[in-house]
């Protein structure tokens, strides 16, 4: 991921609000970046731009060989469906669908056939330790379980870029640790690039690189690409690729 | 995303808010029901009226008098008859043989003295007397001299007869008569009093002149109904079996201008054309045969214009109801889009294109519309059937052929498809709005 001179502004009641001002950023394939900063610093905006949810107003953003600056709405939709996996603080699950159907939905949008995507959803739910909850609706799951379903959905189309926006923001400590461990396992085992937006400095410290968007702050020293993550507590439900890999 | 997957997701989305979905379906169903009912009733009524107007029936009928033709009669609804001319079986056969004639109903008349009881006490307890002095002081102070119209009452559906109270005399009966408003007027009664005279006993005397003496052939009859009719002018209506002997009795006497019937075997006939457009042609042909005719062609044209206005009004009501239902669908979907901004954003975040979201919302509208259409069409046809029952009870009281609601599959299909299309149109704006929502909503909400 290569970002150059990224600027983004919003029209606010008091005038124009600049949230990203000349961001340059390189994240190698398979890298792990944590983005922190105060509320309103532009963390989610950065995530939305590199995830193709929003077009940059100024500067260039390239993910792999795709220049998001030049992509149209359909290109961006295809990019999001094939290259990016999103994990949201609010989980983003559809309450009217079961856990398995939520996971299948991403495959359905990518054009996967019914049998293939059902098998993949089953495998992914098994991999996140929720095979037994496949037929449960989101409202019947705990917060941690919902986030694991969301991670399974994000992995459906085998993305090269996994973006997590405050993935532990709505979780208790134990569930948060389990979710973080799961994201890191996915990142490590599948080799996808992981970008996590968080307020949690402990979580940020585990990333290979840390970008602090607070005004006047540069990326923290010692968080160079390739830095080893700090050890994490082992949760009850670890990502277990040997329990079933996506087809 | 395949169409099948989109339909399944749309159905799940609709089912997520069952109360709101139900209200929307009901609003669409009511509109579809009204529209289906209007279509069914209009179709039935049109068929009925066309049966009457275009395929023959009283309104496509032509009164033929036992008189010479007026050359200009075809242009007039109420042509004046010329000099008397015998109307016999040969003339009726000639008319029946005309290619555009569906039926010929012969009419015989006789002059009779009609004597109700004295004093005349009606069914509601009132006692009435003759309004004019004629006959008072005689042996039968309530007697009136009437024209007794006899026809084939088993073909009453072909005749311009409307039952105001009671019923028509049974076909072939020699003891039942119906009276007309003309007879009621003798006693100062109107149509509102029609029920009160049903059940009266009348003595009927057909006169025969013997020089300066008159002898009558007496029969008794029960008034079974009150009718308005244009078959021939007269105060009493009965069967030909009842009138014919009276006519023969009078005709066998010496000429007397008080009750002269002429020499014609039939006093008139009612000719029904096969279709409305043929009425003028048939009148021309009957004129060619040599008889005077009358037909309400101009009246029918006026009625048709009014029918067209009624159709426009009904269609307007249907369209208004559909627009209201459409606005209901729009409102429901706009509310859904407002509530689901984040969900739509998430769908886009996981790969949904604008067209996928557009299709999803349109299908949700379509699901609501089709459900409402199915429910509404069934309801509308049911309403039309109930209306038909009510109408039939009235028509049967008038001794008229009942209507059969046109429960056509096409109306049901139009109702369902129409509701679906209506909902798609109504859902277009919310669906477009949803499709244009920024994917950023996924992280903003």
Say how many C-beta atoms besides its own lie within 10 A of residue A133's C-beta: 20
Higher pLDDT, A3 or B37: A3
pLDDT digits (tens, 9 = 90+) for A99-139: 999 999 999 998 888 899 999 999 999 988 899 999 999 99
Q: Which residue of A has its CA nearest to B445?
A: A90
Higher pLDDT, B162 or A244: B162
Please list, in sequence order, all residues whose beta carbon lies within 8 angstroms of the beta carbon of residue A206, skipping any fewer than 6 positions away: A32, A34, A180, A184, A229, A230, A232
The pLDDT assigned to A242 comes to 38
What average pLDDT is seen over chain A? Answer: 83
For A208-214, what is the mean pLDDT? 87
Say how many C-beta atoms besides its own lie within 10 A of residue A192's C-beta: 22
Residues composing chain A: 247
What average pLDDT is seen over chain B? Answer: 84
Question: For B91, phi and psi rounded to 5 degrees?
Answer: -65, -40
* Angle in degrees, CA A10, A15, A20, rounded to 5: 35
For B356-362, what is the mean pLDDT? 92
Q: Which of A75-79, B13-17, B240-244, B391-395 has the lowest mean pLDDT?
A: B391-395
The pLDDT assigned to B230 comes to 74
Angle between helices B409-435 and B354-397 (to 10 degrees): 150
Separation between Cα atoms, residue B313 and residue B117, nearest integer Å: 51
Q: Which residue of A has its CA nearest to B357?
A: A109
For A85-104, what is the mean pLDDT? 92
pLDDT digits (tens, 9 = 90+) for A197-210: 998 888 888 898 99
For B310-334, what is the mean pLDDT? 82
For B53-81, what is the mean pLDDT? 70
Chain B contact set for A53 (CB, 8 A): 345, 348-349, 438-440, 442-443
Q: Are strands B236-239 and B101-115 parallel, antiparallel or unpaired?
A: unpaired
How many CB pairs (< 8 A) connect A and B? 88
For residue A167, the distance in angstroms to the closest alpha carbon of chain B comes to 12
Does the CB of B9 have a partner CB in chain A at under 8 Å? yes
Q: Which of A104-113, B351-360, B404-413 has the lowest mean pLDDT?
A: B404-413
Separation between Cα atoms, residue B214 and residue B250, nearest integer Å: 10
pTM: 0.63
The answer to whether B439 contacts A52, with C-beta atoms less than 8 Å apart, is yes
The answer to whether B439 contacts A80, with C-beta atoms less than 8 Å apart, is yes
Q: Where are the alpha helices (DSSP H) in B54-187?
A: 89-96, 181-185
Residue B260 token pair? 């002269």
Q: Is A59 left (phi over 0), alpha (psi -120 to 50) or beta?
A: left
Residue B231 contacts residue B160 (beta carbons within 8 Å): yes
pLDDT digits (tens, 9 = 90+) for B266-275: 999 999 888 8
Q: Which of B141, B139, B136, B204 is nearest to B169 (CA)?
A: B204
Residue B250 token pair? 């009078």
Residue B244 contacts residue B150 (beta carbons within 8 Å): yes
Angle between helices B341-349 and B297-339 (to 10 degrees): 70
Residue B361 token pair? 């919302």
- A75, A91, A92, A116: which to substitute to probe chain B, counting the most B Cβ within 10 Å? A92
Does the CB of B14 have a partner CB in chain A at under 8 Å? no
The pLDDT assigned to B87 comes to 93
Residue B30 token pair? 């009511």
Residue B439 contacts residue A54 (beta carbons within 8 Å): yes
Chain B contact set for A94 (CB, 8 A): 343, 346
pLDDT for A229 beyond 70: no
Does the CB of B285 have a partner CB in chain A at under 8 Å? no
For residue A244, the distance in angstroms to the closest alpha carbon of chain B comes to 22
Q: In angstroms, what CA-CA distances link B1 with A173, B49, B197?
A: 37, 52, 77
Return the sign of the alpha-carbon dihedral for residues B7, B13, B16, B20: negative
Higher pLDDT, B132 or A70: A70
For B103-124, what is the mean pLDDT? 90
Residue B175 token pair? 């003891």
Chain A contact set for B12 (CB, 8 A): 96-97
For residue A75, the distance in angstroms to the closest alpha carbon of chain B comes to 9
For A163-170, what is the mean pLDDT? 89
Residue B376 contacts residue B30 (beta carbons within 8 Å): yes
pLDDT for B251 beyond 50: yes
The answer to whether A48 contacts B440, with C-beta atoms less than 8 Å apart, is yes
The pLDDT assigned to B348 comes to 93
pLDDT for B93 beyond 70: yes
Q: What is the predicted ipTM?
A: 0.85
Separation between Cα atoms, residue B95 and residue B87, nearest integer Å: 11
pLDDT for B26 beyond 50: yes
Return the sign of the alpha-carbon dihedral for residues B10, B12, B15, B20: negative
Higher pLDDT, B389 or B135: B389
Chain A contact set for B354 (CB, 8 A): 73-74, 77
Say how many C-beta atoms besides its own lie within 10 A of residue B81's C-beta: 20
pLDDT for A86 beyond 60: yes
Separation between Cα atoms, residue A37 and residue A22, nearest integer Å: 16
Q: Which of B371, B375, B348, B359 is nearest to B440 (CA)?
A: B348
Q: Which residue of B has its CA nearest to A158?
A: B350
pLDDT for A93 beyond 90: yes
For B33-48, what is the mean pLDDT? 75
The pLDDT assigned to A234 comes to 35
Does the CB of B16 have a partner CB in chain A at under 8 Å? yes
The answer to whether B349 contacts A97, with C-beta atoms less than 8 Å apart, is no
pLDDT for B423 beyond 60: yes
The pLDDT assigned to B148 comes to 94
pLDDT digits (tens, 9 = 90+) for B211-235: 888 889 999 999 999 998 877 789 9
Residue B435 contacts residue B358 (beta carbons within 8 Å): yes
Separation between Cα atoms, residue B281 and residue B231, nearest integer Å: 20
Of A48, A94, A114, the CB nearest to B443: A48
Q: Are strands A2-12 and A15-26 parallel, antiparallel or unpaired?
A: antiparallel
Chain B contact set for A159 (CB, 8 A): none
Burial of B195 (0-12, 13-18, 19+ CB in 10 A): middle
For A22-40, what is the mean pLDDT? 89
For B304-321, what is the mean pLDDT? 79
The answer to whether B347 contacts A109, with C-beta atoms less than 8 Å apart, is yes
pLDDT digits (tens, 9 = 90+) for A39-53: 888 888 999 999 999
pLDDT for B436 beyond 70: yes
- Which residues of A sit within 8 Å Cβ distance of B? 44, 47-48, 51-54, 73-74, 76-78, 80-82, 84, 86, 88, 90, 92, 94-97, 105-106, 108-111, 114, 153-154, 157, 165
Separation between Cα atoms, residue B432 and residue A45, nearest integer Å: 25
Edge-to-edge strand ranges of the sheet holding A58-63? A15-26, A2-12, A58-63, A66-67
Residue A69 token pair? 């600056």
Separation between Cα atoms, residue B366 and residue B333, nearest integer Å: 11
Give the residue carrying structure tokens 């096409």.
Answer: B410
Q: Provide the chain B residues 224-263 that lie in CB contact (below 8 A) with chain A.
A: none
pLDDT band at A169 (very low <50, low <70, confident <90, very high): confident
The pLDDT assigned to B390 comes to 85
* Angle in degrees, CA B194, B197, B201, rounded to 5: 150
């Amino acid at each position: 991921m290569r970002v150059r001179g990224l600027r983004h502004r919003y029209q606010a009641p008091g005038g124009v609000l600049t949230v990203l001002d000349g961001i340059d950023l390189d994240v190698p394939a398979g890298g792990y970046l944590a983005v922190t900063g105060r509320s309103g610093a532009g963390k989610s905006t950065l995530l939305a731009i590199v995830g193709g949810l929003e077009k940059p107003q100024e500067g260039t953003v390239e993910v792999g060989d795709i220049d998001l600056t030049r992509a149209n709405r359909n290109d961006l939709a295809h990019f999001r469906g094939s290259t990016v996996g999103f994990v949201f603080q609010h989980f983003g699950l559809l309450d009217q669908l079961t856990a398995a159907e939520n996971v299948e939905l991403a495959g359905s949008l990518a054009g996967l056939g019914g049998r293939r995507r059902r098998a993949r959803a089953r495998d992914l739910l098994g991999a996140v330790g929720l095979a037994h909850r496949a037929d449960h609706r989101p409202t019947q799951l705990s917060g941690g379980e919902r986030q694991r379903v969301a991670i399974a959905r994000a992995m459906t189309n085998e993305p090269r870029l996994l973006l997590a926006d405050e993935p532990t923001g709505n979780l208790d400590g134990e569930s948060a640790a389990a979710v973080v461990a799961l994201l890191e396992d996915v990142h490590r085992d599948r080799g996808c690039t992981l970008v996590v937006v968080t307020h949690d400095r402990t979580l940020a410290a585990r990333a290979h690189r840390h970008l602090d968007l607070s005004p006047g702050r540069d990326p923290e020293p010692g968080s160079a690409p390739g830095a080893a993550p700090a050890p994490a507590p082992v949760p009850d439900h670890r990502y277990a690729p040997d329990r079933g890999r996506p087809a | 995303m395949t169409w099948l997957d989109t339909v399944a997701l749309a159905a799940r989305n609709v089912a997520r808010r069952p109360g709101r979905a139900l209200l929307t379906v009901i609003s669409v169903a009511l509109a579809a029901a009204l529209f289906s009912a209007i279509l069914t009733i209009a179709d039935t009524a049109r068929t009925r009226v066309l049966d009457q107007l275009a395929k023959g029936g009283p309104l496509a009928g032509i009164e033929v008098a036992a008189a010479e033709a007026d050359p200009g009669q075809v242009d007039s609804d109420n042509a004046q008859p010329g000099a008397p001319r015998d109307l016999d079986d040969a003339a009726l056969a000639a008319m029946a043989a005309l290619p555009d004639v569906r039926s010929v109903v012969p009419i015989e008349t006789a002059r009779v003295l009609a004597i109700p009881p004295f004093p005349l006490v009606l069914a509601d307890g009132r006692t009435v007397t003759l309004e004019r002095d004629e006959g008072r002081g005689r042996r039968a102070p309530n007697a009136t001299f009437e024209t007794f119209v006899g026809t084939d009452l088993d073909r009453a559906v072909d005749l311009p007869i409307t039952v105001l109270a009671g019923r028509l005399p049974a076909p072939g009966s020699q003891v039942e008569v119906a009276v007309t408003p003309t007879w009621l007027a003798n006693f100062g009664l109107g149509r509102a009093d029609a029920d009160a005279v049903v059940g009266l006993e009348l003595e009927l005397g057909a006169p025969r002149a013997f020089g300066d003496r008159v002898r009558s052939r007496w029969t008794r009859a029960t008034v079974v109904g009150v009718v308005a009719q244009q078959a021939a002018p007269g105060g009493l209506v009965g069967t030909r079996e009842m009138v014919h002997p009276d006519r023969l009795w009078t005709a066998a006497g010496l000429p007397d201008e008080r009750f002269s019937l002429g020499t014609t075997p039939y006093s008139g006939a009612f000719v029904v054309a096969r279709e409305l457009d043929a009425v003028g042609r048939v009148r021309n042909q009957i004129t060619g045969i040599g008889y005077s005719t009358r037909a309400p062609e101009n009246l029918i044209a006026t009625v048709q214009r009014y029918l067209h206005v009624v159709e426009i009004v009904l269609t307007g009501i249907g369209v208004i109801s559909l627009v209201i239902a459409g606005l209901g669908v729009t409102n429901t979907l706009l509310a859904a889009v407002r509530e689901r901004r984040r969900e739509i954003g998430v769908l886009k975040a996981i790969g949904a294109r604008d067209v996928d979201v557009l299709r999803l919302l349109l299908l949700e509208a379509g699901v609501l519309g089709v459900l409402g259409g199915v429910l509404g069409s069934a309801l509308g046809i049911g309403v039309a059937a109930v209306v038909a029952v009510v109408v039939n009870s009235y028509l049967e009281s008038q001794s008229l052929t009942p209507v059969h609601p046109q429960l056509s599959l096409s109306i049901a299909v139009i109702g369902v498809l129409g509701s679906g299309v209506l909902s798609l149109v109504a859902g277009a704006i919310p669906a477009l709005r949803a499709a244009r929502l920024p994917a950023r909503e996924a992280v903003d909400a």
